Structure 1
Protein backbone atom coordinates (compact mmCIF):
# COMPACT_ATOMS: atom_id res chain seq x y z
CA UNK A 1 0.00 0.00 0.00
CA UNK A 2 2.76 2.45 0.98
CA UNK A 3 6.25 2.19 -0.45
CA UNK A 4 9.03 4.53 0.71
CA UNK A 5 12.43 4.25 -0.96
CA UNK A 6 15.64 6.12 -0.09
CA UNK A 7 13.84 9.03 1.57
CA UNK A 8 16.09 12.00 2.35
CA UNK A 9 14.81 15.22 3.89
CA UNK A 10 16.74 18.43 4.48
CA UNK A 11 15.93 21.55 6.48
CA UNK A 12 18.26 24.01 4.81
CA UNK A 13 21.64 22.28 4.80
CA UNK A 14 20.79 20.00 7.73
CA UNK A 15 19.75 16.46 6.83
CA UNK A 16 16.92 15.37 9.11
CA UNK A 17 16.07 12.02 7.49
CA UNK A 18 18.73 9.78 5.93
CA UNK A 19 17.96 7.11 3.31
CA UNK A 20 14.75 5.86 4.94
CA UNK A 21 13.21 2.84 3.21
CA UNK A 22 10.13 0.93 4.38
CA UNK A 23 6.81 -0.52 3.20
CA UNK A 24 3.39 -0.75 4.83
CA UNK A 25 0.83 -3.38 3.77
CA UNK A 26 -2.99 -3.22 4.02
CA UNK A 27 -4.18 -3.98 7.54
CA UNK A 28 -0.72 -3.50 9.04
CA UNK A 29 -0.30 -1.42 12.20
CA UNK A 30 3.21 0.03 12.23
CA UNK A 31 4.68 1.70 15.29
CA UNK A 32 7.13 4.54 14.59
CA UNK A 33 9.43 4.85 17.60
CA UNK A 34 12.41 7.04 18.42
CA UNK A 35 13.70 9.74 20.77
CA UNK A 36 12.66 13.37 20.45
CA UNK A 37 14.19 14.95 17.38
CA UNK A 38 14.76 11.63 15.59
CA UNK A 39 12.47 12.66 12.71
CA UNK A 40 9.20 10.81 13.39
CA UNK A 41 6.88 13.77 12.81
CA UNK A 42 8.95 14.87 9.82
CA UNK A 43 8.39 11.51 8.14
CA UNK A 44 4.66 11.66 8.86
CA UNK A 45 4.34 15.14 7.39
CA UNK A 46 6.33 14.09 4.35
CA UNK A 47 3.98 11.16 3.71
CA UNK A 48 1.19 13.75 3.56
CA UNK A 49 3.01 15.78 0.90
CA UNK A 50 3.84 18.63 3.30
CA UNK A 51 7.62 18.68 2.95
CA UNK A 52 10.14 18.47 0.13
CA UNK A 53 12.28 15.36 -0.14
CA UNK A 54 14.42 13.22 -2.40
CA UNK A 55 13.70 9.55 -3.02
CA UNK A 56 10.31 8.06 -3.89
CA UNK A 57 7.03 7.63 -2.03
CA UNK A 58 4.08 5.81 -3.59
CA UNK A 59 0.64 5.11 -2.16
CA UNK A 60 -1.32 2.44 -4.00
CA UNK A 61 1.21 2.83 -6.85
CA UNK A 62 0.52 6.58 -7.13
CA UNK A 63 3.47 8.90 -6.44
CA UNK A 64 3.36 11.31 -3.51
CA UNK A 65 5.23 14.57 -3.97
CA UNK A 66 5.41 17.81 -2.02
CA UNK A 67 1.96 19.43 -2.29
CA UNK A 68 0.43 16.34 -3.94
CA UNK A 69 -3.27 15.78 -3.30
CA UNK A 70 -4.79 13.02 -5.42
CA UNK A 71 -3.22 9.99 -3.65
CA UNK A 72 -4.05 11.48 -0.24
CA UNK A 73 -7.82 11.35 -0.63
CA UNK A 74 -7.76 7.91 1.02
CA UNK A 75 -5.43 8.97 3.84
CA UNK A 76 -6.45 10.22 7.28
CA UNK A 77 -4.10 11.88 9.75
CA UNK A 78 -3.73 13.32 13.23
CA UNK A 79 -0.33 14.94 13.67
CA UNK A 80 0.77 16.89 16.75
CA UNK A 81 -2.47 18.60 17.86
CA UNK A 82 -6.02 18.13 16.52
CA UNK A 83 -6.67 20.80 13.87
CA UNK A 84 -10.17 21.93 14.81
CA UNK A 85 -12.06 25.19 14.48
CA UNK A 86 -12.73 26.26 18.09
CA UNK A 87 -15.92 28.23 17.46
CA UNK A 88 -17.57 25.40 15.51
CA UNK A 89 -19.15 22.44 17.24
CA UNK A 90 -17.55 19.02 16.99
CA UNK A 91 -20.23 17.96 14.54
CA UNK A 92 -19.66 21.03 12.35
CA UNK A 93 -15.93 20.32 12.31
CA UNK A 94 -16.63 16.80 11.09
CA UNK A 95 -19.18 17.98 8.51
CA UNK A 96 -16.51 20.13 6.85
CA UNK A 97 -14.69 16.99 5.72
CA UNK A 98 -17.33 14.25 5.81
CA UNK A 99 -18.40 12.66 2.54
CA UNK A 100 -20.68 10.10 4.20
CA UNK A 101 -23.15 11.30 6.84
CA UNK A 102 -23.93 7.78 8.03
CA UNK A 103 -20.22 7.05 8.52
CA UNK A 104 -19.81 10.33 10.44
CA UNK A 105 -22.71 9.52 12.78
CA UNK A 106 -21.35 6.01 13.34
CA UNK A 107 -17.94 7.44 14.31
CA UNK A 108 -19.51 9.94 16.73
CA UNK A 109 -21.37 7.09 18.43
CA UNK A 110 -18.44 4.65 18.37
CA UNK A 111 -16.13 7.23 19.98
CA UNK A 112 -18.71 8.07 22.64
CA UNK A 113 -18.99 11.74 21.65
CA UNK A 114 -22.80 11.96 21.46
CA UNK A 115 -23.24 13.98 24.66
CA UNK A 116 -20.96 16.85 23.63
CA UNK A 117 -20.63 16.69 19.86
CA UNK A 118 -22.88 19.75 19.35
CA UNK A 119 -21.00 21.93 21.84
CA UNK A 120 -18.35 24.43 20.60
CA UNK A 121 -14.97 22.74 20.29
CA UNK A 122 -13.38 25.54 22.35
CA UNK A 123 -15.18 24.12 25.41
CA UNK A 124 -13.74 20.63 24.91
CA UNK A 125 -11.26 19.08 27.31
CA UNK A 126 -7.92 17.81 25.95
CA UNK A 127 -9.30 14.27 25.79
CA UNK A 128 -12.47 15.40 23.99
CA UNK A 129 -10.41 17.30 21.41
CA UNK A 130 -8.20 14.27 20.94
CA UNK A 131 -11.22 12.09 20.22
CA UNK A 132 -12.45 14.67 17.72
CA UNK A 133 -9.04 14.66 16.03
CA UNK A 134 -9.11 10.88 15.78
CA UNK A 135 -12.64 11.03 14.35
CA UNK A 136 -11.41 13.48 11.69
CA UNK A 137 -8.59 11.07 10.81
CA UNK A 138 -11.01 8.16 10.46
CA UNK A 139 -13.65 9.99 8.40
CA UNK A 140 -14.64 8.58 5.01
CA UNK A 141 -13.18 5.12 5.67
CA UNK A 142 -9.52 5.85 4.81
CA UNK A 143 -7.18 3.14 3.52
CA UNK A 144 -4.21 4.54 5.44
CA UNK A 145 -4.20 6.46 8.74
CA UNK A 146 -1.30 8.38 10.33
CA UNK A 147 -1.60 9.01 14.07
CA UNK A 148 0.94 11.03 16.07
CA UNK A 149 0.58 10.41 19.83
CA UNK A 150 -3.10 9.37 19.54
CA UNK A 151 -3.43 8.50 23.25
CA UNK A 152 -2.52 12.02 24.46
CA UNK A 153 -4.98 13.29 27.05
CA UNK A 154 -7.13 10.14 27.00
CA UNK A 155 -8.24 8.36 30.17
CA UNK A 156 -7.90 4.59 30.55
CA UNK A 157 -11.38 3.82 29.21
CA UNK A 158 -10.88 6.02 26.12
CA UNK A 159 -7.40 4.55 25.52
CA UNK A 160 -8.84 1.03 25.47
CA UNK A 161 -11.61 2.20 23.12
CA UNK A 162 -9.12 3.70 20.65
CA UNK A 163 -7.10 0.48 20.67
CA UNK A 164 -10.26 -1.47 19.84
CA UNK A 165 -11.18 0.90 17.02
CA UNK A 166 -7.70 0.70 15.49
CA UNK A 167 -7.94 -3.10 15.48
CA UNK A 168 -11.43 -2.94 13.92
CA UNK A 169 -10.25 -0.73 11.06
CA UNK A 170 -7.11 -2.80 10.53
CA UNK A 171 -9.22 -5.97 10.29
CA UNK A 172 -11.05 -4.29 7.39
CA UNK A 173 -7.77 -3.55 5.59
CA UNK A 174 -6.92 -0.04 6.82
CA UNK A 175 -3.18 0.41 7.46
CA UNK A 176 -1.85 2.55 10.32
CA UNK A 177 1.40 4.37 11.04
CA UNK A 178 1.38 5.34 14.72
CA UNK A 179 3.94 7.28 16.73
CA UNK A 180 3.85 7.29 20.52
CA UNK A 181 6.18 7.64 23.49
CA UNK A 182 3.84 5.39 25.51
CA UNK A 183 5.48 2.16 24.35
CA UNK A 184 3.35 -0.09 26.53
CA UNK A 185 0.22 1.13 24.74
CA UNK A 186 1.79 1.06 21.29
CA UNK A 187 2.93 -2.52 21.86
CA UNK A 188 -0.69 -3.59 22.36
CA UNK A 189 -1.77 -2.56 18.85
CA UNK A 190 1.16 -2.66 16.44
CA UNK A 191 2.07 -5.57 14.19
CA UNK A 192 5.52 -4.22 13.30
CA UNK A 193 7.89 -1.54 14.51
CA UNK A 194 10.16 1.00 12.84
CA UNK A 195 12.82 2.49 15.12
CA UNK A 196 14.37 5.84 14.25
CA UNK A 197 17.54 7.19 15.81
CA UNK A 198 19.79 10.05 14.71
CA UNK A 199 17.54 10.65 11.69
CA UNK A 200 17.74 7.15 10.19
CA UNK A 201 15.94 3.83 10.49
CA UNK A 202 17.94 1.50 12.73
CA UNK A 203 15.38 -1.33 12.90
CA UNK A 204 12.29 -2.39 10.94
CA UNK A 205 10.90 -5.72 12.18
CA UNK A 206 7.66 -7.53 13.09
CA UNK A 207 6.61 -7.00 16.71
CA UNK A 208 6.80 -10.77 17.24
CA UNK A 209 10.58 -10.45 17.26
CA UNK A 210 10.34 -8.67 20.61
CA UNK A 211 7.92 -11.25 22.01
CA UNK A 212 10.65 -13.86 21.59
CA UNK A 213 13.22 -11.94 23.62
CA UNK A 214 15.69 -14.18 25.49
CA UNK A 215 15.15 -15.08 29.13
CA UNK A 216 17.35 -12.94 31.40
CA UNK A 217 16.23 -14.06 34.88
CA UNK A 218 13.95 -16.47 36.68
CA UNK A 219 11.34 -15.41 39.19
CA UNK A 220 10.90 -17.96 41.96
CA UNK A 221 8.63 -18.36 44.96
CA UNK A 222 9.11 -20.95 47.69
CA UNK A 223 7.08 -22.03 50.69
CA UNK A 224 9.41 -19.85 52.79
CA UNK A 225 11.16 -17.06 50.88
CA UNK A 226 12.92 -15.79 54.00
CA UNK A 227 14.60 -19.14 54.57
CA UNK A 228 15.31 -19.54 50.84
CA UNK A 229 17.03 -16.14 50.73
CA UNK A 230 19.29 -17.10 53.66
CA UNK A 231 20.22 -20.36 51.93
CA UNK A 232 21.09 -18.57 48.69
CA UNK A 233 23.15 -15.97 50.53
CA UNK A 234 25.05 -18.68 52.39
CA UNK A 235 25.92 -20.25 49.04
CA UNK A 236 27.01 -16.94 47.46
CA UNK A 237 24.10 -16.97 44.99
CA UNK A 238 23.10 -13.47 43.89
CA UNK A 239 19.37 -12.79 44.11
CA UNK A 240 17.03 -9.82 44.08
CA UNK A 241 13.91 -9.58 46.20
CA UNK A 242 10.79 -7.89 44.89
CA UNK A 243 7.36 -8.15 46.46
CA UNK A 244 6.81 -11.84 47.25
CA UNK A 245 9.39 -13.21 44.79
CA UNK A 246 13.11 -13.84 44.42
CA UNK A 247 14.79 -13.10 41.09
CA UNK A 248 17.73 -15.29 40.07
CA UNK A 249 20.19 -14.88 37.19
CA UNK A 250 19.61 -17.40 34.42
CA UNK A 251 23.12 -18.85 34.77
CA UNK A 252 22.44 -19.79 38.41
CA UNK A 253 19.01 -21.39 38.13
CA UNK A 254 20.19 -25.05 37.95
CA UNK A 255 22.41 -24.57 40.99
CA UNK A 256 19.60 -22.81 42.86
CA UNK A 257 17.17 -25.68 42.24
CA UNK A 258 19.78 -28.22 43.40
CA UNK A 259 20.56 -26.26 46.58
CA UNK A 260 16.91 -25.69 47.48
CA UNK A 261 16.08 -29.35 46.85
CA UNK A 262 18.99 -30.37 49.08
CA UNK A 263 17.48 -28.24 51.87
CA UNK A 264 14.01 -29.72 51.16
CA UNK A 265 12.78 -26.28 50.11
CA UNK A 266 9.79 -26.65 47.77
CA UNK A 267 9.33 -24.31 44.80
CA UNK A 268 5.86 -22.87 44.37
CA UNK A 269 6.68 -20.87 41.21
CA UNK A 270 9.44 -20.83 38.60
CA UNK A 271 8.77 -18.22 35.91
CA UNK A 272 11.15 -17.10 33.12
CA UNK A 273 11.59 -13.31 32.95
CA UNK A 274 12.25 -11.73 29.55
CA UNK A 275 13.31 -8.22 28.64
CA UNK A 276 10.38 -5.83 28.43
CA UNK A 277 9.58 -4.12 25.16
CA UNK A 278 10.80 -0.82 26.60
CA UNK A 279 14.11 -2.38 27.68
CA UNK A 280 14.62 -3.87 24.22
CA UNK A 281 13.97 -0.52 22.53
CA UNK A 282 16.41 1.27 24.84
CA UNK A 283 19.06 -1.35 24.05
CA UNK A 284 18.58 -0.87 20.31
CA UNK A 285 19.00 2.90 20.68
CA UNK A 286 22.09 2.48 22.89
CA UNK A 287 23.65 0.02 20.42
CA UNK A 288 23.28 2.56 17.62
CA UNK A 289 24.87 5.25 19.79
CA UNK A 290 27.87 2.99 20.54
CA UNK A 291 28.25 2.10 16.85
CA UNK A 292 28.63 5.77 16.03
Structure 2
Protein backbone atom coordinates (compact mmCIF):
# COMPACT_ATOMS: atom_id res chain seq x y z
CA UNK A 1 0.00 0.00 0.00
CA UNK A 2 1.37 3.39 -1.03
CA UNK A 3 -0.62 5.48 1.47
CA UNK A 4 0.25 5.56 5.14
CA UNK A 5 -2.71 7.83 6.00
CA UNK A 6 -6.17 7.85 4.42
CA UNK A 7 -8.86 10.29 5.58
CA UNK A 8 -12.35 10.36 4.05
CA UNK A 9 -15.60 12.19 4.80
CA UNK A 10 -14.41 13.56 8.15
CA UNK A 11 -16.88 15.83 9.94
CA UNK A 12 -16.56 17.42 13.38
CA UNK A 13 -18.66 19.96 15.26
CA UNK A 14 -17.83 21.79 18.48
CA UNK A 15 -21.32 22.86 19.49
CA UNK A 16 -22.68 24.88 16.55
CA UNK A 17 -19.21 25.49 15.11
CA UNK A 18 -18.24 23.33 12.14
CA UNK A 19 -14.60 22.37 12.73
CA UNK A 20 -14.25 19.85 9.89
CA UNK A 21 -16.48 19.72 6.83
CA UNK A 22 -16.22 16.51 4.76
CA UNK A 23 -12.42 16.46 5.03
CA UNK A 24 -10.55 13.92 2.97
CA UNK A 25 -6.97 13.45 1.79
CA UNK A 26 -4.25 10.78 1.62
CA UNK A 27 -0.55 10.82 2.48
CA UNK A 28 1.93 8.63 0.61
CA UNK A 29 4.63 6.77 2.49
CA UNK A 30 7.92 8.66 2.71
CA UNK A 31 6.36 12.00 1.78
CA UNK A 32 6.61 15.27 3.69
CA UNK A 33 3.16 16.88 3.66
CA UNK A 34 2.46 20.44 4.76
CA UNK A 35 -0.96 21.14 6.29
CA UNK A 36 -1.56 24.87 5.99
CA UNK A 37 -4.35 27.40 6.44
CA UNK A 38 -5.46 30.33 8.61
CA UNK A 39 -5.77 30.15 12.39
CA UNK A 40 -8.85 28.18 13.38
CA UNK A 41 -9.13 26.49 9.97
CA UNK A 42 -9.09 22.98 11.44
CA UNK A 43 -5.43 21.92 11.22
CA UNK A 44 -5.00 20.91 14.86
CA UNK A 45 -8.42 19.23 14.88
CA UNK A 46 -7.34 16.99 11.99
CA UNK A 47 -4.08 16.10 13.71
CA UNK A 48 -5.79 15.31 17.02
CA UNK A 49 -8.38 13.15 15.25
CA UNK A 50 -5.64 11.21 13.42
CA UNK A 51 -3.96 10.58 16.76
CA UNK A 52 -7.20 9.36 18.35
CA UNK A 53 -7.20 12.26 20.83
CA UNK A 54 -10.66 13.46 19.84
CA UNK A 55 -13.64 11.76 18.28
CA UNK A 56 -15.36 12.83 15.08
CA UNK A 57 -19.03 12.98 14.08
CA UNK A 58 -18.55 10.93 10.93
CA UNK A 59 -15.94 9.84 8.43
CA UNK A 60 -13.01 7.48 8.47
CA UNK A 61 -9.31 7.64 9.36
CA UNK A 62 -6.90 4.86 8.47
CA UNK A 63 -3.22 4.58 9.38
CA UNK A 64 -1.44 1.72 7.63
CA UNK A 65 -4.90 0.51 6.52
CA UNK A 66 -6.07 0.22 10.15
CA UNK A 67 -9.08 2.23 11.33
CA UNK A 68 -8.35 4.89 13.93
CA UNK A 69 -10.84 6.08 16.52
CA UNK A 70 -10.71 7.54 20.01
CA UNK A 71 -11.24 4.02 21.41
CA UNK A 72 -9.23 1.96 18.93
CA UNK A 73 -5.81 2.96 17.61
CA UNK A 74 -3.17 0.19 17.79
CA UNK A 75 -1.58 1.48 14.57
CA UNK A 76 -0.55 4.63 16.42
CA UNK A 77 2.28 2.68 18.08
CA UNK A 78 4.19 3.46 14.87
CA UNK A 79 3.38 7.19 15.05
CA UNK A 80 5.30 9.99 16.77
CA UNK A 81 3.74 13.39 17.41
CA UNK A 82 4.19 16.90 18.73
CA UNK A 83 0.84 18.67 19.05
CA UNK A 84 0.70 22.30 20.14
CA UNK A 85 3.12 22.60 23.08
CA UNK A 86 5.32 19.75 24.34
CA UNK A 87 4.38 18.36 27.75
CA UNK A 88 7.43 19.24 29.85
CA UNK A 89 7.98 18.43 33.53
CA UNK A 90 10.09 21.28 34.97
CA UNK A 91 12.02 19.23 37.54
CA UNK A 92 13.02 16.45 35.15
CA UNK A 93 16.05 16.65 32.88
CA UNK A 94 15.72 16.45 29.14
CA UNK A 95 17.25 12.98 29.16
CA UNK A 96 14.81 11.80 31.84
CA UNK A 97 11.94 12.93 29.58
CA UNK A 98 13.36 10.90 26.71
CA UNK A 99 13.80 7.84 28.95
CA UNK A 100 10.10 8.02 29.81
CA UNK A 101 9.17 7.86 26.12
CA UNK A 102 11.88 5.65 24.62
CA UNK A 103 10.96 2.00 24.21
CA UNK A 104 12.58 -1.15 22.91
CA UNK A 105 15.99 -2.75 23.17
CA UNK A 106 17.69 0.18 21.46
CA UNK A 107 16.15 2.87 23.67
CA UNK A 108 19.46 4.24 25.01
CA UNK A 109 21.17 4.36 21.63
CA UNK A 110 18.08 5.98 20.09
CA UNK A 111 18.17 8.66 22.80
CA UNK A 112 21.87 9.31 22.18
CA UNK A 113 21.25 9.56 18.44
CA UNK A 114 18.36 12.04 18.57
CA UNK A 115 20.17 14.18 21.18
CA UNK A 116 23.18 14.38 18.88
CA UNK A 117 21.12 15.03 15.74
CA UNK A 118 19.25 17.91 17.37
CA UNK A 119 22.43 19.25 19.03
CA UNK A 120 21.02 19.01 22.56
CA UNK A 121 24.09 17.48 24.24
CA UNK A 122 25.07 20.61 26.20
CA UNK A 123 21.81 20.85 28.11
CA UNK A 124 20.18 17.41 27.95
CA UNK A 125 21.21 16.69 31.58
CA UNK A 126 19.80 20.01 32.82
CA UNK A 127 16.36 20.28 34.42
CA UNK A 128 13.74 21.46 31.96
CA UNK A 129 12.73 24.42 34.15
CA UNK A 130 15.88 26.16 32.94
CA UNK A 131 15.14 25.52 29.24
CA UNK A 132 14.44 28.34 26.82
CA UNK A 133 11.44 28.17 24.48
CA UNK A 134 13.65 26.84 21.69
CA UNK A 135 15.22 24.19 23.95
CA UNK A 136 11.76 23.01 25.04
CA UNK A 137 10.67 22.85 21.42
CA UNK A 138 13.68 20.74 20.49
CA UNK A 139 12.89 18.39 23.38
CA UNK A 140 9.30 18.06 22.13
CA UNK A 141 10.57 17.20 18.66
CA UNK A 142 13.05 14.70 20.14
CA UNK A 143 10.21 13.01 22.04
CA UNK A 144 8.29 12.64 18.77
CA UNK A 145 11.26 11.12 16.95
CA UNK A 146 13.10 9.09 19.60
CA UNK A 147 11.39 5.76 18.83
CA UNK A 148 12.06 6.06 15.08
CA UNK A 149 8.36 6.10 14.12
CA UNK A 150 7.19 5.35 10.59
CA UNK A 151 4.82 8.35 10.62
CA UNK A 152 5.44 11.67 12.40
CA UNK A 153 2.88 14.43 13.02
CA UNK A 154 4.30 17.83 13.97
CA UNK A 155 2.15 20.85 14.85
CA UNK A 156 4.11 24.11 14.49
CA UNK A 157 7.51 22.45 15.10
CA UNK A 158 9.45 25.60 14.14
CA UNK A 159 7.93 27.70 16.95
CA UNK A 160 10.66 29.23 19.10
CA UNK A 161 13.53 27.89 16.98
CA UNK A 162 16.29 30.22 15.78
CA UNK A 163 17.42 30.11 12.12
CA UNK A 164 20.20 27.61 12.82
CA UNK A 165 17.84 25.28 14.68
CA UNK A 166 15.29 25.60 11.86
CA UNK A 167 17.95 24.56 9.36
CA UNK A 168 18.95 21.63 11.57
CA UNK A 169 15.34 20.48 11.84
CA UNK A 170 14.77 20.81 8.09
CA UNK A 171 17.82 18.68 7.34
CA UNK A 172 16.78 16.03 9.87
CA UNK A 173 13.24 15.80 8.48
CA UNK A 174 14.51 15.47 4.91
CA UNK A 175 17.07 12.85 5.98
CA UNK A 176 14.43 10.76 7.75
CA UNK A 177 11.95 11.11 4.88
CA UNK A 178 14.58 9.79 2.47
CA UNK A 179 14.95 6.80 4.79
CA UNK A 180 11.19 6.17 4.56
CA UNK A 181 9.63 8.14 7.42
CA UNK A 182 6.43 10.04 6.56
CA UNK A 183 5.73 13.52 7.94
CA UNK A 184 2.56 15.58 8.34
CA UNK A 185 3.60 19.10 9.37
CA UNK A 186 1.48 22.11 10.21
CA UNK A 187 3.36 25.40 10.25
CA UNK A 188 2.76 29.11 9.82
CA UNK A 189 6.39 29.53 8.76
CA UNK A 190 5.67 28.84 5.12
CA UNK A 191 9.14 29.83 3.95
CA UNK A 192 10.56 26.90 5.95
CA UNK A 193 7.79 24.46 5.02
CA UNK A 194 8.14 25.31 1.35
CA UNK A 195 11.76 24.15 1.38
CA UNK A 196 10.98 20.57 2.41
CA UNK A 197 7.36 19.65 1.61
CA UNK A 198 6.52 17.21 -1.19
CA UNK A 199 2.79 17.90 -1.01
CA UNK A 200 0.57 20.63 0.42
CA UNK A 201 -2.95 20.33 1.86
CA UNK A 202 -4.73 23.67 2.31
CA UNK A 203 -7.67 23.94 4.70
CA UNK A 204 -9.96 26.90 5.31
CA UNK A 205 -13.03 26.99 7.58
CA UNK A 206 -12.86 23.21 7.98
CA UNK A 207 -12.81 22.46 4.24
CA UNK A 208 -9.94 21.18 2.11
CA UNK A 209 -9.57 23.72 -0.70
CA UNK A 210 -6.33 22.41 -2.23
CA UNK A 211 -4.42 19.12 -2.12
CA UNK A 212 -1.53 18.73 -4.55
CA UNK A 213 2.24 18.35 -4.96
CA UNK A 214 4.01 21.54 -3.92
CA UNK A 215 5.22 22.22 -7.46
CA UNK A 216 1.59 22.42 -8.59
CA UNK A 217 0.62 24.62 -5.64
CA UNK A 218 3.47 27.08 -6.12
CA UNK A 219 3.75 26.80 -9.90
CA UNK A 220 7.47 26.17 -9.51
CA UNK A 221 8.09 27.17 -13.10
CA UNK A 222 6.56 30.62 -12.51
CA UNK A 223 9.16 33.38 -12.62
CA UNK A 224 8.43 36.78 -11.12
CA UNK A 225 9.99 40.14 -11.96
CA UNK A 226 10.11 42.51 -8.97
CA UNK A 227 10.83 46.17 -9.68
CA UNK A 228 11.62 49.14 -7.48
CA UNK A 229 10.89 52.37 -9.34
CA UNK A 230 10.77 56.12 -8.84
CA UNK A 231 6.96 55.90 -8.68
CA UNK A 232 5.61 52.40 -7.97
CA UNK A 233 1.94 53.49 -8.01
CA UNK A 234 2.29 55.06 -11.44
CA UNK A 235 4.33 52.07 -12.68
CA UNK A 236 1.57 49.63 -11.64
CA UNK A 237 -1.04 51.82 -13.33
CA UNK A 238 0.92 52.00 -16.60
CA UNK A 239 1.50 48.25 -16.62
CA UNK A 240 -2.20 47.52 -16.02
CA UNK A 241 -3.21 49.95 -18.78
CA UNK A 242 -0.97 47.96 -21.13
CA UNK A 243 -2.57 44.65 -20.12
CA UNK A 244 0.21 43.40 -17.86
CA UNK A 245 -1.00 41.36 -14.86
CA UNK A 246 0.49 43.00 -11.77
CA UNK A 247 0.64 40.35 -9.04
CA UNK A 248 0.67 42.68 -6.02
CA UNK A 249 -1.26 45.77 -5.00
CA UNK A 250 1.65 47.31 -3.11
CA UNK A 251 4.72 46.31 -5.13
CA UNK A 252 5.58 46.15 -8.81
CA UNK A 253 5.55 42.37 -9.40
CA UNK A 254 4.91 40.86 -12.83
CA UNK A 255 4.87 37.23 -13.90
CA UNK A 256 7.45 36.57 -16.61
CA UNK A 257 6.78 34.39 -19.66
CA UNK A 258 7.62 34.25 -23.38
CA UNK A 259 5.42 37.27 -24.14
CA UNK A 260 6.18 39.20 -20.96
CA UNK A 261 9.91 39.95 -20.91
CA UNK A 262 12.00 42.22 -18.74
CA UNK A 263 13.16 44.20 -21.79
CA UNK A 264 9.58 45.04 -22.83
CA UNK A 265 8.61 46.08 -19.30
CA UNK A 266 11.67 48.28 -18.78
CA UNK A 267 11.22 49.94 -22.18
CA UNK A 268 7.56 50.73 -21.44
CA UNK A 269 8.27 52.22 -18.01
CA UNK A 270 11.33 54.25 -19.08
CA UNK A 271 9.42 55.67 -22.06
CA UNK A 272 6.67 56.64 -19.61
CA UNK A 273 9.13 58.63 -17.49
CA UNK A 274 9.57 56.02 -14.73
CA UNK A 275 13.11 55.46 -13.41
CA UNK A 276 14.08 51.86 -12.54
CA UNK A 277 15.96 51.71 -9.23
CA UNK A 278 16.25 47.93 -8.84
CA UNK A 279 15.29 44.70 -10.62
CA UNK A 280 14.97 41.29 -8.94
CA UNK A 281 13.97 37.85 -10.21
CA UNK A 282 12.18 35.38 -7.96
CA UNK A 283 10.46 32.03 -8.24
CA UNK A 284 6.95 31.84 -6.89
CA UNK A 285 6.93 30.89 -3.19
CA UNK A 286 4.48 28.94 -1.04
CA UNK A 287 3.31 31.99 0.91
CA UNK A 288 2.27 33.87 -2.24
CA UNK A 289 0.55 30.78 -3.62
CA UNK A 290 -1.36 30.14 -0.37
CA UNK A 291 -2.60 33.72 -0.22
CA UNK A 292 -3.79 33.45 -3.82
CA UNK A 293 -5.57 30.13 -3.13
CA UNK A 294 -7.36 31.62 -0.11
CA UNK A 295 -8.24 34.75 -2.11
CA UNK A 296 -9.64 32.67 -4.98
CA UNK A 297 -11.68 30.56 -2.55
CA UNK A 298 -13.42 33.69 -1.23
CA UNK A 299 -14.84 34.50 -4.67
Fold in common (TM above 0.5)? yes
CA distance in 2: counterparts of 1:237 and 1:19, whole angstroms: 42
CA distance in 2: counterparts of 1:247 and 1:160, whole angstroms: 29
2:76 aligned to which of 72, 78, 86: 72
CA distance in 2: counterparts of 1:174 and 1:57, whole angstroms: 19
What is the aligned length?
A: 271
Q: Is the 8 A contact 1:6 1:21 kept in 2?
A: yes
Q: Write out aligned runs for 1:147-166 (5 A).
A: 147-166=154-173
User: Which residue does the alignment assign to 2:274?
Assistant: none
Moved over 6 A (4+): 236-240, 246-249, 257-260
2:93 aligned to which of 67, 75, 89: 89
User: Which residue does the alignment assign to 1:265?
Assistant: none
Gaps of 5+ in 1: 241-245, 263-268
Over 3 Å counting, the alpha-carbon distance change for 1:216 and 1:98 in structure 2 is closer
Over 3 Å counting, the alpha-carbon distance change for 1:177 and 1:247 in structure 2 is closer
**Counterpart secondary structure, 1:96:** helix
User: Which residue does the alignment assign to 2:249?
Assistant: none
User: Which residue does the alignment assign to 1:104?
Assistant: 111
User: Which residue does the alignment assign to 1:282?
Assistant: 291
Q: Is the 8 A contact 1:50 1:67 kept in 2?
A: no
User: Which residue does the alignment assign to 1:125?
Assistant: 132
TM-score (norm 1): 0.83
CA distance in 1: counterparts of 2:265 and 2:19, whole angstroms: 51
TM-score (norm 2): 0.81
* 1:15, distance to aligned residue in structure 2 (A): 2.0
Q: What are the superposed Cα offsets for residues 218-272 of structure 1, whole Å, 9 maximum, x if unpaired?
A: 4589xxx99xx9xxx9xx66899xxxxx976756646457779x9xxxxxx9976
Between structure 1 and structure 2, the one with the greater Rg is 1
Over 3 Å counting, the alpha-carbon distance change for 1:217 and 1:46 in structure 2 is closer
CA distance in 2: counterparts of 1:164 and 1:217, whole angstroms: 28
User: Which residue does the alignment assign to 1:25?
Assistant: 28
* 1:130, distance to aligned residue in structure 2 (A): 0.4
CA distance in 2: counterparts of 1:278 and 1:22, whole angstroms: 21
Q: What are the superposed Cα offsets for residues 92-123 of structure 1, whole Å, 9 maximum, x if unpaired?
A: 00000101211111101111111110111111
User: Which residue does the alignment assign to 1:4?
Assistant: 7
Q: Write out aligned runs for 1:122-271 (5 A).
A: 122-212=129-219, 215=222, 218=225, 253=261, 255-256=264-265
Which one is further off, 13-22 or 248-257?
248-257
Q: Does 1:38 align with 2:41?
A: yes
**Counterpart secondary structure, 1:4:** strand
CA distance in 1: counterparts of 2:118 and 2:168, whole angstroms: 7
User: Which residue does the alignment assign to 2:275?
Assistant: none
CA distance in 1: counterparts of 2:54 and 2:239, whole angstroms: 58
